Amino acid sequence: MIILKNKTFMLLLGGQGISIFGDSLYSVALMWYIMDQTGSTLSLGMSVICMTLPSILFMPWAGVLADKNIKKTLLFASDGLNGLLMCLLMVITLIKSEGVPTVVIDSCLMLTSTIRAFFSPALSATIPLIVEEKDLTRANSAFQFIRQFSNIAGPAVGGLLMAFLSISTLFMINAFSFFIAAVFSLFMSIPNLEALTVKQPFFKRFAEGIHYTFRMRRLLFLILVGGVIINFFLAPLNIFTTYLCNQVLETGAQGLGWVEASISIGAVLGSCMMMSGWFKNQIRLAVFGLCLEGIALLIAGIFMEYWALILFASLLGFGVCLASVGISTTYQKLIAPDKMGRVMSFSSMISSCTVPVGMLAGTFAVAHWDMSFIFLISGLVVFISGLALVIPFKGEFKSKQKTVALGK
């Protein structure tokens, strides 16, 4: 593939691949450590909030910075600072061998989440600048493959290492992974965009990104479907599958583990197919993926048996992967390069806010409704939402056109 000859992209992919895998080792070890030290699910929940809330709050600032010609600096600084934070956690856990107060860990998690808020839009804005438009689907698929492979291998390897090594060693490994990614970013060549001749205040630049989003009907529709509706209905899936395996099907922790693994396996398969060039049109890819997600939920709601749950998980992972890459690629082709950071950060902020609302709604639904009914309703809404994307993008379905025109 031509994309493999792209030095800057391969440096970005290689560095992020190492740091993503290191992060997956650290995440499972950290959750285990917190639970082992406190024995409290409340403490675990607070730590999860600390990992997500700051990224939502700082997204607007991050998006504005990502649209400036400092993307390389943001990528380097983010990985470098995260590496230093991991070193700090390593030192603290070595000194406090009897146990680290959760307030210290949560503070570090909040800092890590804040740094990630600046990294994510910079990464999203960088990819379309260093990759040709025809290779965007393959590029996004490569990142998706790394994430899903890490979701499979990371917890397994992390759990194994925790059995033989200390938590401080896991922090050290993750620190090295971030430092390697930071070094890789130094050798990247990211094209500069034409700079603004007139300096604008921060809020005006951020508002410009929001106005741009609402002015583009197709972009707004894509955010509402792919970022709000789908996130709302998929956010509580961990609650649903855990409840099913524990209370309804009584498969135990091992059964739940196979369900989680099936999601990642389906996603890895989807990534491999996209990297091989099976799918050419990104919006068709998004619609197909979303419809598959809906079908998967319907299967789980109709049959309510363990084999159906495994099939549901595999199809869901496959569909989520296809939809995620299709939507990301469509974003990158729709949005003007000089507004990519602001629009993507605004979209991520909206999507992230939807997740806790969806989880609360899912918790309420489990307590009051039958699981079969919940899956059926969720499946119907997701399937119809996926099909609804055909309306604003009908031109891409009527013709053989494979790209989405910029700014429409």
The pLDDT tens digits for 20-73 are: 888 887 777 777 777 677 766 566 667 767 777 787 788 878 888 888 888 999
What DSSP line would sit under 376-396, residue for residue?
A: HHHHHHHHHHHHHTTTTTHHH
Residues 163, 39, single domain; the answer is: yes
Query: Which helix or strand (DSSP H or E) is residue 319 part of?
Result: helix 306-334
- Position 336: which residue type? A
407 found inside a domain: no
174 found inside a domain: yes
Domain containing residue 241 = 202-398
Residues 52, 158, single domain; the answer is: yes
405 found inside a domain: no
Per-residue model confidence as pLDDT tens digits over 208-220: 888 888 988 889 9
Using alpha carbons only, what angle is made at residue 330 by residues 326 and 331, rounded to the nearest 5 degrees? 120
Predicted TM-score (pTM) of this structure: 0.81
Residues 257, 178, single domain; the answer is: no
The alpha-helical segments, DSSP class H, found in 96-236 are 102-130, 136-164, 167-186, 202-215, 217-222, 230-234
- Position 127: which residue type? I
Per-residue model confidence as pLDDT tens digits over 255-281: 777 887 888 889 889 888 887 767 778
Residues 138, 172, single domain; the answer is: yes
CA 261 – CA 100 distance, rounded (Å): 31
The confidence score (pLDDT) of residue 402 equals 47
The confidence score (pLDDT) of residue 403 equals 47
350 found inside a domain: yes
Structure tokens at 220: 């707004």
CA 347 – CA 367 distance, rounded (Å): 31
CA 47 – CA 108 distance, rounded (Å): 10
196 found inside a domain: no
Residues 148, 249, single domain; the answer is: no
Distances (CA, A) of 115 to 13, 69, 122, 169, 339: 19, 18, 11, 22, 21
Contact 211, 336 (CB under 8 A): no
Distances (CA, A) of 324 to 7, 329, 339: 25, 8, 20
CA 173 – CA 180 distance, rounded (Å): 11
The number of C-alpha atoms within 13 Å of 299 and in the hemisphere containing its C-beta is 17
Residues 263, 211, single domain; the answer is: yes
Confidence category of residue 198, pLDDT binned at 50, 70, 90: low
| Number of compact structural domains in the chain | 2
- Domain final residue pick, 154, 186, 218: 186
Structure tokens at 175: 């620190």
Question: What letter does residue 92 receive in the DSSP assignment?
Answer: H
